[in-house]
Amino acid sequence: MFRTDLNHFLQSFDSQPLHQFMEIVSFMGTVYMLLLTILILIGGVNVRKGFLVLNILGWGVLFMLGAKNYFDYPRPLAVDATLESFGRDKTPENLVALQPTRFFEGFSDELLLKTRTSKIMRHGLPSSHTMIITAVWLGMALLFRKKWLCVVSVSLITLTIISRMYLGMHYLGDVSLGLVLGLIFSIGFNKLYKLTGLKEEFSTSKITVLFLAAPVILAFLYSVIPGFQAGALIGLNLGLLLILRIWGEPVLVSSSLKRMLNTLVFVTLYFSMFFLSKKLHLPKEGLMPLLIFSFLNFVTLILSFYLGKLMGVFTISKA
Residue type, 90: K
Closest CA to 168 of 89, 65, 66: 89
Residue 284: burial class (beta carbons within 10 Å; 0-12, 13-18, 19+): exposed
pLDDT in tens, 201-245: 887 688 999 999 999 999 999 999 999 999 999 999 999 999 998
Q: What is the pTM assigned to this prediction? A: 0.93
Would you write out the chain's pLDDT as a tens digit for each of its 319 residues?
Answer: 999 999 999 999 999 999 999 999 999 999 889 999 999 999 999 999 999 999 999 999 999 999 999 999 999 999 999 999 999 999 999 999 999 999 999 999 999 999 998 888 889 999 999 999 999 999 999 999 999 999 999 999 999 999 999 999 999 999 999 999 999 999 999 999 999 999 888 876 889 999 999 999 999 999 999 999 999 999 999 999 999 988 888 999 999 999 999 999 999 999 999 888 888 888 888 999 999 999 999 999 999 999 999 999 988 765 5
Q: Please, what sign has the CA dihedral across residues 132, 136, 142, 145?
A: negative
Name the burial class of residue 192, with classes exposed (0-12), middle (13-18) and buried (19+) by CB atoms within 10 angstroms of its CB: middle
Contact at 8 Å (CB) between 81 and 4?
Answer: no
User: What CA–CA distances, in Å, run from 267 to 140, 262, 271, 273?
Assistant: 19, 9, 6, 10
